[in-house]
Amino acid sequence: MIISVTALGLLSKAHFENVPVFQAGDYIYVTKDIAMEGTHIIALEKSSELSQLLSEEDNKTLEDYSRNLSVVEDSKLARDYECIMHDITEGGVLGAVWETCEMIGFGAKLDYSSMPLSETSKKICHFYNINPLRLISSGSMLIVAKAHSSKALEQAFALSNIRLSKIGELSKDEAVVIFEDGIYSSVLPPKSDELYKVV
């Protein structure tokens, strides 16, 4: 069963007055693993089909995912630093980066090898031939932070139980690109989530 909830709230005017002014070279981070929710949903919906593929360790990972699909604690940790946040939902991490860069008027250079992707997610995405970077990733937060405050941000997360991974930097060029296998490839605007190819 999948339950979807929409929550609305109000922010003080001061919140918007303190939005950082970004520049090329500022850092792009994600929390936890990417593709968590998509991996979890597919594993539930296709449990019989995946029963021979997934190990006991994979099942433990999936149990952990089911308990970590909120970004409330992630945002509480990050909000004291010069940054903006985007919860990584439909369209996955690439969709979240593209939308954020479109909003702030910068491009980005991403590194595929820095993406925190579990072996469980890799197995499932390979089995169904889908791109984990385009898979719904609720539970993971995208954070764009000023370079000069990055060390303090990293230290705050290091003292918590939430992993923070740097996946790239902002660039002057408005294009979003990702480095993989020795070449840069363009990241296109988000379309339908990879989840819908499977369930």
Segment 125-155, tens digit of pLDDT: 999 999 999 999 999 999 999 999 999 999 9
SS3 string, 43-100, reads: HHHCHHHHCCCCCHHHHHHHHHHHCCCCCHHHHHHHCCCCEEEEECCCCHHHHHHHHH
Quick one: which of 57, 191, 52, 43 has its CA closest to 131? 191
Q: What percent of the chain has pLDDT over 70?
A: 91
Q: What is the pTM of this model?
A: 0.90
Name residues whose C-beta falls within 8 Å of residue 122's C-beta, 6 or more positions apart in sequence.
132
Domain locations in the chain as residue ranges: 21-188
Q: Give the pLDDT confidence score for residue 8 in this predicted structure.
A: 57
Mean pLDDT, residues 33-37: 98
To which H or E segment does residue 178 belong? strand 176-180
Q: Which residue has the tokens 């491009």?
A: 107
Confidence of residue 5 (pLDDT cuts 50, 70, 90): low
Answer for the pair 95, 190: CB distance below 8 angstroms, yes or no. yes
Q: Give the pLDDT confidence score for residue 103 in this predicted structure.
A: 95
pLDDT value at 17 more than 60: no
Which region among 3-12, 41-50, 121-130, 139-148 has the lowest average model confidence (pLDDT)? Answer: 3-12
pLDDT value at 16 more than 50: no
Average pLDDT, the chain: 93
User: What are the pLDDT digits (tens) for 88-105?
Assistant: 999 999 999 999 999 999
For the domain spanning 21-188, the CATH number is: 3.90.650.10
